[in-house]
Amino acid sequence: MSSAIVMPKVGLTMTEGKIVEWRKSVGDRIEPGDIVFVFETEKVSFDVEATQTGVVSKIIIAEGETVPVGTEVALLDGAGGAAEAAPDKSSAPEPAAPQPAATARTPAGSVTASSKTRATPLARRIAKSNGIDIAQVTASSGPIKKRDVESYLSGLAAQPAARSASMTVPPSEIAGGRLVKLSSMREIIARKMVASTTEAAQAYMIVTVDAGNLVEARGRLIPSIEKQTGVRPTLTDLIAKIVAVAIGRHPVMNTRWTRDGIVWLDAIHMGIATALDDGLVVPVIENIGDKKLSEIAVQRRDLIDMARNGRLPPERMKGSTFSISSLGMFGVEEFSAIINQPESAILAVGAIIDTPVAREGAVVVRPMMKLTLTYDHRIIDGAKAAAFVASLKDVVEEPLLALA
C-alpha cells in the first residue's frame, strides 16, 4: 500500500513550511526514527522523523520550496498501517508538537474506507474552529472525540512554553496558591523570552547620560507638536528617535542572525515594549528613521491605545529590528532587558534622577539617566557596542546632533 508524508504542523501558528533538505531519496528505505527531511518555518527548522517503515517512491516537493501545512511532500511504498512522520525536536529550539504531526494519507485515486478519519461531529467542529486537521489528532479510544482534540490542543499550546520555560514541577505538587492557565500571550512571552536567552549570546553595557538637554528639548517641542497633533511627545518618543539616529551611525545594531549568515537590515523598525495589565506587547513604529517626532508620537499613542484595548493587529507587532523598553516612569534607575528575538539588541531606559555629579571640578546636580544596552555577542562585539553607546550618549546629551 502506498501512502504519503505531509508537511507537519508544528505550533498553532504554523501555516506553511519550507523544505530545506531531503535526507532520503527515491528508492531509499526508511525506518521509524530516520530523519526524512528538514523543513523550516519563519523562525526555526525541524527534522522530520519517519514513524513507520517504507520505501520512498516519489519526492513531490523539492528542496527550497515552501508549501502549506498538510501538503503531501513525498510518497512511500510498502507502508504498513498508518504512515506518519513526526518532527524531531533535537535540532529545534521550538519543541515539536506532542502528537505525530505529519499524518500520511492515501493518495488520491486509491482512497479506501479505512483511510477515513472517524471523529465525532463535535470533535470535528472543535478541530475546525482551531484550524487543525482532524487527522492529526490521535483518538484515545474509538473515534476521535472532544477530549482527544482538546488534549491535542493543550499539548500544542502548553508544550512549547512549558518545556522551554522548564516548568517541570506539576502544579499539583505546589501547596497553596491558585493555578491560572496560560493565556496565549503568556505562552508567547514565555517562549520568546526563554528562546532569546538560550539562543542569543546576551551581553550588557551601561552608560549614564545627562538628560538635561533632552528634557529641555522636549519642553520646547511639546507646544508645537501638541498644537499640531493633539499628542504630547513623551521622553520615550524622543529617545526612540535618537536611538534611530545612533543606529544609523552603527548599522551593526540593526542586524539579524540567520542560519546562512548575518542579514544587515536596510530599514529601522522600532519596537516599543508596552506593559499591559496582563502581559506585554511590542508595537512597532516602522521606518522610524524617516519619521518626524510628531509622527512618532501620534503613531506610538495610537498603537498603545490599540494594544491596551486588545485591538492591536498582530502585523503591527511584527518586523521590529530594534526595541526599547522604558521603566523610567516607575522610577526604576536601571535594568536590563532581554533581546526581542530575532533582533540583535535592546535598550533599557531608566528614570531621570537628579544626581550630584562632578563638572569641571565642581559638584553640580544634574538630571541623570541610565541606559542599558543588551546586545547579541554573536553579531556585535564589545567595542562595536561601546561605539554605539558612545554615539547614543552624545545625541541624548545634545539632541541637536540628531540634525548633524
Catalytic annotation, pick one of 266, 278, 305, 381:
381
Task: Name which position in 32, 68, 131, 142 contacts another protein (CB under 8 A).
Answer: 142
> Can residue 9 be called a binding residue for another protein (CB under 8 A)?
no
Cis amide bond preceding 342, omega within 30: yes
Stretch that binds another protein, among 102-110, 142-150, 227-235, 354-362 (CB under 8 A): 142-150
User: Is 64 in contact with 18 (CB distance < 8 Å)?
Assistant: yes
Per the structure block, which three cell numbers stand in for 142?
Answer: 474509538
Per the structure block, which three cell numbers stand in for 348?
Answer: 533599557
> Can residue 294 be called a binding residue for another protein (CB under 8 A)?
no
Residue 122 or 329: the one with the smaller Cβ distance to another protein is 122
Rounded to a whole number of angstroms, the minimum distance from the CB of residue 146 to another protein is 4
Residue 141 or 309: the one with the smaller Cβ distance to another protein is 141
User: Is 402 in contact with 242 (CB distance < 8 Å)?
Assistant: yes
> Can residue 36 be called a binding residue for another protein (CB under 8 A)?
no
Residue 2 or 120: the one with the smaller Cβ distance to another protein is 120
Non-local CB neighbours of 229 within 8 Å, separated by 6+ positions: 294, 297, 298
Active site residue 250: no
Rounded to a whole number of angstroms, the minimum distance from the CB of residue 145 to another protein is 5
Task: Name which position in 9, 89, 105, 145 contacts another protein (CB under 8 A).
Answer: 145
Active site residue 377: yes
Relative to beta strand 202-210, strand 84-88 is unpaired
Single-letter amino acid, residue 299: Q
Rounded to a whole number of angstroms, the minimum distance from the CB of residue 184 to another protein is 24
> Can residue 68 be called a binding residue for another protein (CB under 8 A)?
no
Task: Name which position in 143, 230, 331, 382 contacts another protein (CB under 8 A).
Answer: 143
Question: Rounded to whole angstroms, what are the CA distances from 288 to 193, 200, 248, 299?
Answer: 25, 25, 11, 10
User: Is 386 in contact with 233 (CB distance < 8 Å)?
Assistant: no
Question: In the range 115-134, which residues lie near another protein by CB under 8 A?
Answer: 120-125
Q: Can you spell out the DSSP letters for 152-174?
A: HHHHHHHHHHHHHTT--S-GGGS
Rounded to a whole number of angstroms, the minimum distance from the CB of residue 141 to another protein is 8
> Can residue 151 be called a binding residue for another protein (CB under 8 A)?
no
Catalytic annotation, pick one of 88, 133, 377, 394:
377
For residue 283, the SS3 value is: coil
Stretch that binds another protein, among 37-45, 143-151, 155-163, 207-215 (CB under 8 A): 143-151
Non-local CB neighbours of 143 within 8 Å, separated by 6+ positions: 118, 119, 120, 123
Active site residues: 377, 381
Chain positions contacting another protein, by CB under 8 A: 120-125, 142-143, 145-146
